[in-house]
Chains A and B, each alone.
Chain A
């Protein structure tokens, strides 16, 4: 299996897992308001985290290249 195919399969597995997690959250939470109350900050924090990670990585690469 090529690394690309392995990555795609990992992504598929992760999406299926995420769908299960989402289904459980939507089923057991008291309502959509509660789900959104936790999901939105989680998403925002995650996106900011990834953005900072990329910026740091880019800065390190530049620093190493200089």
Chain B
């Protein structure tokens, strides 16, 4: 009886404890629908880890500014320091076979891009020298690869560059499982097995539509309205591919097969965009001056494509890499280690896939299974 009486004398909860209780119960209530949505997102078929999927879920559910701010802080805290010991070798890219030899003199019609002039001297073996991506490429390889040290102030940074012969290849835009978000009949979101005998390379697309605030046309259908002044990768009927700042408003030429926009051009008419150091112009994601994995795509004077990617790049340093590789017009593609991929296949049938740079985070089999985001596939045209 005494025990019961003592319990009854327990005073009411103080106000701060009740406020804490209210907040904790409110947190539980809020987390119930969030948990359902998150579990639903994780259960979808995808080839990304649960933590990347979680970050993407937060981004897609109103948290993009939050995630971007945290990423900015993280990358600022982990910014690389200048200098450091020089590299002794570069990662091996491409294949060094008899096929890799330069075309003979009577084959003057076969164009090959000039080697990229090294920025740091003495040059390392193979620096800036193009090598075929495939062991069976023949005298006119559809894809050439090289690496070079891209910044004398950071002598350990290595950029990977790929040159894609537009005359020998056909570029295809492939929708991913979740990007673009609104699309019926999105297809397999991977390189279809039936087309793997002709696949030469695959590479990442641009920012998701939600964060790019840019347009997308696919199979002639406008999935997001086109925006003037934004860099646009366009494929016309007949297979011609170009990168240009969009100037047609929301009107879309019926000859366009796909048009993918991403941020303002970083190179136009051979010149770097003068606003590369202007933060707000480069989207509501990681700041333009933050050094992260970045990728970009350009065209050279002859209309061939040039892809570049490297870790620890700003928008400006990425543009300089593409310019040095010969791009006269270029756009930034996706960024961050989770999304940057350029993969080549050394043998027909997508056999022996290989990342452009060994430090690329995603596996080289990334696009041989359904992928979350949209990407580009480079197929070899006809016979070699």
Interface residues of A (CB under 8 A from B): 2-4, 6-7, 10-11, 14-15, 17-19, 21-22, 25-26, 29-37, 39-40, 42-43, 46-47, 49
B63 close to A30 (CB less than 8 A): yes
Q: B117 at interface (Cβ–Cβ under 8 A)?
A: no
A32 close to B18 (CB less than 8 A): no
User: CB-nearest residue of chain A relative to B9?
Assistant: A3
A10 close to B13 (CB less than 8 A): yes
Please tell me which one of the listed residues B9, B12, B24 contacts residue A46 in the complex, with CB atoms under 8 A apart: B24
A24 to chain B, nearest CB (A): 9
B22 close to A32 (CB less than 8 A): no
Q: A17: which B residues are within 8 A, CB to CB?
A: 22, 26
Q: A46: which B residues are within 8 A, CB to CB?
A: 20, 23-24, 27
In the assembly, what is the distance between CA of A34 and CA of B12, in Å?
A: 34
Contacts A32-B34, A42-B23, A47-B24 hold; do A18 and B29 have CB atoms under 8 A apart?
yes
Please tell me which one of the listed residues A6, A29, A40 contacts residue B62 in the complex, with CB atoms under 8 A apart: A29
A-B contact list, 28 entries, CB within 8 Å: A2-B8, A3-B7, A3-B8, A3-B10, A6-B12, A7-B13, A10-B12, A18-B25, A19-B29, A22-B29, A25-B26, A25-B30, A26-B33, A32-B33, A32-B62, A33-B59, A33-B63, A34-B61, A34-B63, A35-B31, A36-B31, A39-B27, A39-B34, A42-B23, A42-B24, A43-B27, A43-B31, A46-B23
B309 to chain A, nearest CB (A): 28
Contacts A10-B18, A21-B22 hold; do A33 and B31 have CB atoms under 8 A apart?
no
Interface residues of B (CB under 8 A from A): 7-10, 12-13, 18, 20-31, 33-35, 37-38, 57-63, 66
Please tell me which one of the listed residues B10, B22, B38, B58 contacts residue A18 in the complex, with CB atoms under 8 A apart: B22
In the assembly, what is the distance between CA of A26 and CA of B24, in Å?
A: 15
Q: A4: which B residues are within 8 A, CB to CB?
A: 8
A37 close to B29 (CB less than 8 A): no
Total residue contacts A-B, CB cutoff 8 A: 102
Tell me the dominant secondary structure on chain B's binding face: helix
In the assembly, what is the distance between CA of A39 and CA of B13, in Å?
A: 23
B26 close to A30 (CB less than 8 A): no
Q: A14: which B residues are within 8 A, CB to CB?
A: 18, 21-22, 25
User: CB-nearest residue of chain B relative to A4?
Assistant: B8
In the assembly, what is the distance between CA of A6 and CA of B11, in Å?
A: 11
In the assembly, what is the distance between CA of A62 and CA of B168, in Å?
A: 82
B286 to chain A, nearest CB (A): 18
A7 to chain B, nearest CB (A): 7
In the assembly, what is the distance between CA of A39 and CA of B58, in Å?
A: 13
Q: B57: which A residues are within 8 A, CB to CB?
A: 33
Q: B7: which A residues are within 8 A, CB to CB?
A: 3
Please tell me which one of the listed residues A26, A34, A39 contacts residue B66 in the complex, with CB atoms under 8 A apart: A34
B37 close to A32 (CB less than 8 A): yes
User: CB-nearest residue of chain B relative to A23?
Assistant: B29
Please tell me which one of the listed residues B20, B22, B62 contacts residue A31 in the complex, with CB atoms under 8 A apart: B62
B69 to chain A, nearest CB (A): 11
User: CB-nearest residue of chain A relative to B28?
Assistant: A43
Q: A11: which B residues are within 8 A, CB to CB?
A: 21
Contacts A14-B21, A31-B61 hold; do A22 and B30 have CB atoms under 8 A apart?
yes
In the assembly, what is the distance between CA of A61 and CA of B25, in Å?
A: 28
Q: A31: which B residues are within 8 A, CB to CB?
A: 60-63
In the assembly, what is the distance between CA of A4 and CA of B369, in Å?
A: 60
A37 close to B66 (CB less than 8 A): yes
B20 close to A35 (CB less than 8 A): no
In the assembly, what is the distance between CA of A2 and CA of B5, in Å?
A: 11
In the assembly, what is the distance between CA of A8 and CA of B62, in Å?
A: 37
